[in-house]
Amino acid sequence: MSLRFHIHHRDPNTLARVGLIHTAHGDIETPGFMPVATQATVKGLTPRDLYDLDAQLIICNTYHLALRPGAEQIAQLGGLHKFMNWDRPISTDSGGFQVFSLGAAIRDGVGKIADIFPDESMRDEVEIKGDRTPLCKIDNDGVTFNSHLDGSLVRLTPEKSIQLQHQLGADFILAFDECTSPLDTPKYTREALGRTHRWAERCLEQHARTRRAYQTLFGIVQGGAYRELREESARVIGNLPFGGLAIGGSLGRSKGDMHAILDWTIPLLPEDKPRHLLGIGEIDDVLNGVERGIDLFDCAAPSRWARNGALMVSRETAQREQIKNNRLTIANARFTLDTSPVDPSCACFTCAHHSRAYLHHLHRAKELTYYRLATIHNLHFILNFMRRVREAIQGDSWQEFRVANTLSI
Amino acid sequence: MSLRFHIHHRDPNTLARVGLIHTAHGDIETPGFMPVATQATVKGLTPRDLYDLDAQLIICNTYHLALRPGAEQIAQLGGLHKFMNWDRPISTDSGGFQVFSLGAAIRDGVGKIADIFPDESMRDEVEIKGDRTPLCKIDNDGVTFNSHLDGSLVRLTPEKSIQLQHQLGADFILAFDECTSPLDTPKYTREALGRTHRWAERCLEQHARTRRAYQTLFGIVQGGAYRELREESARVIGNLPFGGLAIGGSLGRSKGDMHAILDWTIPLLPEDKPRHLLGIGEIDDVLNGVERGIDLFDCAAPSRWARNGALMVSRETAQREQIKNNRLTIANARFTLDTSPVDPSCACFTCAHHSRAYLHHLHRAKELTYYRLATIHNLHFILNFMRRVREAIQGDSWQEFRVANTLSI
């Protein structure tokens, strides 16, 4: 069976909804957040740690895994679930976003390279080039690019991306699309959108041919920050027989643009399919996405912040510590003798067992144990936040929750 | 109370013995192995992980911790146990070995720099110099050296080392000694030994003045690879009122030298005090040390091997895999599709949950999760090996155990 989605409750004033996605590998409560496991591991954590954090779904990168160790190898090893020893649902992306990263993003210098490549080792490879020569070429049939690992030429088409994702064996797989840059003209964005729509149909055909029975294909709505294109894409993708829908690509140049894109798109999508906002998952973005009807989020920021020394805290703790955003900079010297946990209101393993002083020391000393403890904390924070989001919608207290938790007022 | 040591059983044919050391922070079964937690963390593991591995004692480095975060800071935070949130026994070294590393070891190019600095970040600092200018100066009162972190001048004397260790608050602390190089002349080694013996008395005096009630001071037998000096040192140190005894310094140029040093020394030491062989803990060394009367080992090799991709396996597994030593090189391409655990006979978390293929992938991708899983495996291996050592002595089957487990026959 592919996924089944039940919406249990709706907020009366917004498009926010709580639901449950049933999959062959277990249920996912929505709205939900998926930690990013680029190379079949959330950096520093084992699958057992993710169970302890109650992560219900993770997302892996087809691009990275197809290059190393190889989709064929993972298939021979029984698929991603068995390879990682993770028996809950998995999502994979199509490789389209990495193609964008190797192409337009480098050419235009848009997007933080850190957002594009959550894998630092890959980021180094790309930054070394520095000359903004795109590493990929797009044609109507697919894309050709150089591997960031060894420079070898790789060809990716809609069919190939779906086959790779079938081999990897994730529960949710994504259509192969073309992500455009915010700097692309309306003309180019329209041309790319045509490709994305034709590729969507080819992905569906390939999916019918080689999918494992439990796999569900998500379509991706593109169209840049252009209303007409987004609306067209929502109608086209929304009418195709995808099992779920994703919003991808350039979400404009500001938070306002992103909200507008969601406002244009989501009312045109079918009600009964789960909606995934690709690559987005900061607190304010979750609040804005949820009330516009988003069910699933993925984002590398919480775990990357953790590794970089930025530990997420509640609004109360942020106010007490007089920090403007919701992230405590653990490198700060004032934590040297601070025996309190990162966030006194947090129930994670790290806060239950270790002090700011100890984390400050481990961070300064660049100790491996730091990365683990920090990642556990930030992922607990965002996963626990999603639980509270669901409770707020379920309890008809979304407005109060939203006001109490918005950071940038 | 300081430590109490009970010997429960002795091997009838060798000096091997099983016992129990009682401390204010719990009991330690001997012969025992202490994982190295240089900077108040075993790299990649939390104290909770070490409980799961049944580690009963760990060793931290006074030199590293006094420089960062500072012994005074750790004292203000309630001592090492509270700082790390580890409530079992802790040992600290005196800083003498690091002084040796900054001095004679660099001058003479002896010892692997990796053995001297299990902390890679420090190793880099030292290797950058490369000119073999010793970073420290020894006089009769103490040593002066430059911090590897910021180059600042640091002065260490026997009194200062003991005070620092009192501030850190470990259960077992070590006398401040001078480690000589295997290239030192008998004349210089004798001169250094005289200093070590005078310093031993100064350490005892300082210990009486500022110790916490539960702390026990271990004396260190020195004397290089010279029989006369080792015997003299064993008599001098053995007759002083230390709570435990350690064998330190240059153990010669071969395994044979090390065995001879133990054979000369240990019969001259009092029977009723635990004996710690400093910085040694590979399988063959444990077998040779135990039957010469050693009770405690510490060694960074198992955890460093783990991080470098060398995973310890049983003799049976090593034979089946046709590897000469007992370490499987996980980077080897033949593990790409190997779904078996690192060692099928191993009961550790890593072997219970993950395949060689997954570890091979994580290692190649330099993923943080690799370091954790590999360290858990190797530390489980050596700690489980120590349990079997104790059972063999207790069960009067030491000879059979020793023969069955010796690697280099």
DSSP per residue, B113-160: HHHH--SHHHHHHHHHH-S---SEEE-SS-EEEE-TTT--EEEE-HHH
Q: How confident is the model at residue B128 (pLDDT cuts 50, 70, 90)?
A: very low
- Segment 255-314 of chain A within 8 Å of chain B by CB: none
Q: How confident is the model at residue A121 (pLDDT cuts 50, 70, 90)?
A: very low
Average pLDDT over residues A208-226: 97
Active-site pick, B171, B177, B295, B298 = B298
User: Which of A111-115, A186-190, B243-247, B347-351 is least confident?
Assistant: A111-115
Average pLDDT over residues A22-32: 98
* pLDDT of amino acid A183: 86
pLDDT tens across B84-97, in order?
999 999 999 998 88
Predicted confidence (pLDDT) at residue A111 exceeds the cutoff of 80 = no
A378, A348 in Cβ contact below 8 A?
Answer: no
Among this protein's residues, is B139 annotated catalytic?
no
* pLDDT of amino acid A114: 47
Cα(A234)–Cα(A224) distance, integer angstroms: 12
Using a 10 angstrom Cβ sphere, with 0-12 exposed, 13-18 middle and 19 or more buried, the burial of residue B173 is buried
Cα(A358)–Cα(A364) distance, integer angstroms: 10
B349 to chain A: which residues are within 8 Å by CB? 48
Predicted confidence (pLDDT) at residue A132 exceeds the cutoff of 70 = no
B372 to chain A: which residues are within 8 Å by CB? 44, 46, 368, 372
Average pLDDT over residues A380-405: 97
Predicted confidence (pLDDT) at residue A27 exceeds the cutoff of 60 = yes
Average pLDDT over residues B96-125: 60
* Residue from the list B46, B355, B369 with its beta carbon closest to the beta carbon of A369: B46
Whole-angstrom CA distances from A364 to A306, A332, B249 are 13, 10, 31
Question: If you average pLDDT over every residue of chain A, what do you get?
Answer: 92
User: Which of A221-225, B1-5, B348-352 is least confident?
Assistant: B1-5
Q: How confident is the model at residue A253 (pLDDT cuts 50, 70, 90)?
A: confident
Looking at CA atoms only, how far is residue A156 from chain B in angstroms?
22
Predicted confidence (pLDDT) at residue B16 exceeds the cutoff of 90 = yes
Looking at CA atoms only, how far is residue A368 from chain B in angstroms?
5
* pLDDT of amino acid B47: 98
B336 to chain A: which residues are within 8 Å by CB? 69, 73
CATH superfamily, region A4-299 = Queuine tRNA-ribosyltransferase-like (3.20.20.105)
Average pLDDT over residues B196-201: 98
Cα(A398)–Cα(A14) distance, integer angstroms: 9
* Residue from the list B42, B48, B84 with its beta carbon closest to the beta carbon of A358: B84
Q: Does B355 touch chain A (CB under 8 A)?
A: yes
* Residue from the list A46, A336, A339 with its beta carbon closest to the beta carbon of B373: A46
Q: 3-class SS at A136? A: strand
A225, A257 in Cβ contact below 8 A?
Answer: yes
In B, minimum Cα distance to A42 occurs at B369
Contacts 24+ apart (CB under 8 A), B286-290: B286/B31, B286/B33, B286/B382, B286/B385, B286/B386, B286/B389, B287/B389, B287/B402, B287/B405, B287/B406, B288/B255, B288/B258, B288/B259, B288/B262, B289/B31, B289/B262, B290/B16, B290/B31, B290/B389, B290/B393
B353/A40 CB distance under 8 A: no
* pLDDT of amino acid B346: 98
Q: Does A394 touch chain B (CB under 8 A)?
A: no
In B, minimum Cα distance to A38 occurs at B367
In A, minimum Cα distance to B361 occurs at A69
Q: Does A332 touch chain B (CB under 8 A)?
A: no
Q: How do beta strands B17-23 and B4-10 pair?
A: antiparallel
Residues of A annotated as catalytic are 93, 298
* pLDDT of amino acid A110: 63
Higher pLDDT, B373 or B151: B373
A377 to chain B: which residues are within 8 Å by CB? none
Taking the domains of chain B in order of start, what are their residue ranges? 4-299, 305-386
* pLDDT of amino acid A127: 46
B367/A78 CB distance under 8 A: no
Average pLDDT over residues B185-214: 97
* pLDDT of amino acid B264: 98
Cα(B19)–Cα(B5) distance, integer angstroms: 7
* Residue from the list B46, B68, B357 with its beta carbon closest to the beta carbon of A77: B357
A249, A180 in Cβ contact below 8 A?
Answer: yes
Q: How many Cβ pairs within 8 Å bridge chains A and B?
A: 114
Candidates A68, A332, A342, A361: best to mutate against B (most CBs of B within 10 A) is A361
Average pLDDT over residues A139-162: 91
Average pLDDT over residues B54-80: 97
pLDDT tens across A254-306, in order?
899 999 999 999 999 999 999 999 999 999 999 999 999 999 999 999 999 99
Predicted confidence (pLDDT) at residue A209 exceeds the cutoff of 90 = yes
- Segment 101-140 of chain A within 8 Å of chain B by CB: 121
Query: Which backbone phi and psi does B220 adopt, to 5 degrees?
Result: -120, 125
Q: How many CB atoms within 10 Å of residue A129?
A: 13
A41/B76 CB distance under 8 A: no
* pLDDT of amino acid B133: 64
In B, minimum Cα distance to A356 occurs at B83
B45/A373 CB distance under 8 A: no
Residue B25 tokens, joined: 């922070």
Higher pLDDT, B398 or A99: B398
pLDDT tens across B32-55, in order?
999 999 999 999 999 999 999 999
Looking at CA atoms only, how far is residue B40 from chain A in angstroms?
8
* pLDDT of amino acid A379: 98
Question: If you average pLDDT over every residue of chain B, what do you get?
Answer: 92
Average pLDDT over residues B351-374: 98
B68/A354 CB distance under 8 A: no
As a whole number of Å, the CA-based R_g of chain B is 21
Q: How confident is the model at residue A133 (pLDDT cuts 50, 70, 90)?
A: low
Q: How confident is the model at residue A118 (pLDDT cuts 50, 70, 90)?
A: very low
Residue B352 tokens, joined: 């219970």
Candidates B367, B370, B377: best to mutate against A (most CBs of A within 10 A) is B367
User: Which of A145-154, B21-30, B53-62, B267-276 is least confident?
Assistant: A145-154
Q: Does A75 touch chain B (CB under 8 A)?
A: no
Which DSSP string do the residues of B161-179 spell out, in sequence order?
Answer: HHHHHHHHT-SEEE----P
Looking at CA atoms only, how far is residue B153 from chain A in angstroms?
20
